[in-house]
A = this chain, B = another copy of it.
Amino acid sequence: MAVGGRTDVFAGLRPEVPDALARHLHDVDLIDHHVHGAFTVGIDRAGFEAALNEGSTDPVPAFMSQFDSPLGLAVRRWCAPVLGLQPLASADEYWLRRAELRPADLSERFLRAAGVARWVVDTGFLGDRITTPEEMTSLSGVASSSILRLERLTEDLIEAGASPKDYPEALRAALDDAVADPHTVGVKTIAAYRTGFDVDWSRPADTAVVQSAARQGQRPARVDDPVLIAFGVHEATARGLPLQIHVGFGDRDLDLHRTDPLLLLPLLRAMAPVPVLLLHCYPFQRQAGYLAQAFDNVNFDVGLAINFLGPRSPSLVAEALETAPFAKQLYSSDAFGPPELHLLGSVLWRRAMGLVLGEWVRCGDCTEADAIRIVDMIGVRNAERVYGL
């Protein structure tokens, strides 16, 4: 592609992807319904490679390069041209060229090449090293919305001095503010990282919340009390706020097997029927698709994993299209840090949808118009409906 244009994800693949579908997948502006900011600070090569590993927070060991991974291949293939290099430029070439550009230059290039109409930004993590939603808008030229992370909100309230006795009302007031803020379109829980899903998800009484808040104390807070987490979830959803839930793939702080979304069944059966968004879900995408069929209010995506699977992402996208109605799946990149990830989520999803749905069209399983409609639902319309955009 030419620098500054939108990446042509079907270059050389046209025969496998019908024309109108390929054109539509190239042109459609996506809603990235779960994304973080891009780095505002310069990083060295070690920092860049570490940012290509989701599972570990350690430096990449000396015996290997994170470029030697499915995601590393995808960076070389799809991101090199955005920097004016040939596709599949070597890791060293890529790094040399990237190091010439300032963080804002990189973000502007990659964010604009992604073809995104709106960023729905989770602002709850490492806010000082990455772009704010406003900066995302400024760099990309398109709108953004915010997602309020519940555990961070609780930690902020405690650190700001809310006493245990006052905590329930303080949280309610903060959520009332969120409801009133047009920029905030939902909340998110990272219970996956703090408690796992095999906890008591029933709605706690205020007295239990006060006791848990007292145990938590005023120390620099890392909330991992299931009562506090369940309280936040129920209070937010009772107010009609859509609920994003981190599911599956993440760093090794979490117990991956305790983030199987099926463990959320007690919550899903009991909570207010506001939209639930199961995020990422790998390797539990089939379980997530099942829940999206079984519960009217459950939706899911396979973001984050699409990036990390690189060349294998079409297979993941295909598995995500197994049992869920097409109205119950969304697009996200879950990019964080290197703006390459904001582009790759979009490029790899478009490409995977083209390969999977293109095969359906070729085999007679749906019309090309059907395929285009499925793209619009998952890429744009479902997010509009769920978040009321």
Contact = CB atoms under 8 A, between A and B. Distances in A.
Interface of A: 11-13, 53-56, 58, 61, 63-64, 66, 68-70, 72-74, 77, 87-88, 249, 251-252, 255-257, 260, 262-263, 265, 268-269, 282-283, 286-287, 290-291, 293-296, 305, 308-312, 315-316, 318-319, 321-328, 360, 363-367, 370, 373-374, 377, 385
Q: Which 6 A-B pairs have the closest CB atoms?
A: A55-B294, A64-B327, A311-B365, A252-B294, A55-B293, A283-B286
A312 B321 contact: yes
A310 B251 CA distance: 34
Contacts of A12: 364
Contacts of A367: 88
Contacts of A69: 293, 324-326
Contacts of A312: 318-319, 321-322
A97 to B, nearest CB: 18
A255 B360 CA distance: 32
Contact of A256 (B77, B252, B262, B366): B262
Nearest to A66: B325
B295 A56 contact: yes
A46 to B, nearest CB: 14
Contacts of A70: 321-323
Contact of A283 (B77, B287, B321, B370): B287
A326 B291 CA distance: 31
B290 A256 contact: yes
A375 to B, nearest CB: 12
A294 B325 CA distance: 33
Given A53-B325, A312-B318, A312-B319, 10 more contacts: A56-B293, A56-B294, A63-B327, A69-B325, A72-B325, A74-B365, A251-B294, A293-B308, A311-B321, A311-B366
A85 to B, nearest CB: 14
B364 A77 contact: yes
A67 to B, nearest CB: 9
Contacts of A385: 63
B290 A55 contact: yes
B287 A256 contact: yes
Given A87-B364, A286-B283, A365-B77, A327 B68 contact: yes
A59 B73 CA distance: 45
A293 B305 CA distance: 12
- Counting chain B CB atoms within 10 Å of each CB, the highest count among A56, A255, A286, A311 belongs to A311
Given A68-B325, A318-B315, A296 B61 contact: yes
A284 to B, nearest CB: 9
A63 B385 CA distance: 8
Contacts of A68: 325-327, 373-374, 377
A376 to B, nearest CB: 11
Contacts of A363: 13, 311
Contacts of A294: 55-56, 251-252
Contacts of A366: 73, 77, 88, 311
Given A73-B370, A77-B364, A249 B55 contact: no
Contacts of A296: 56, 58, 61
A339 to B, nearest CB: 21
Nearest to A263: B257
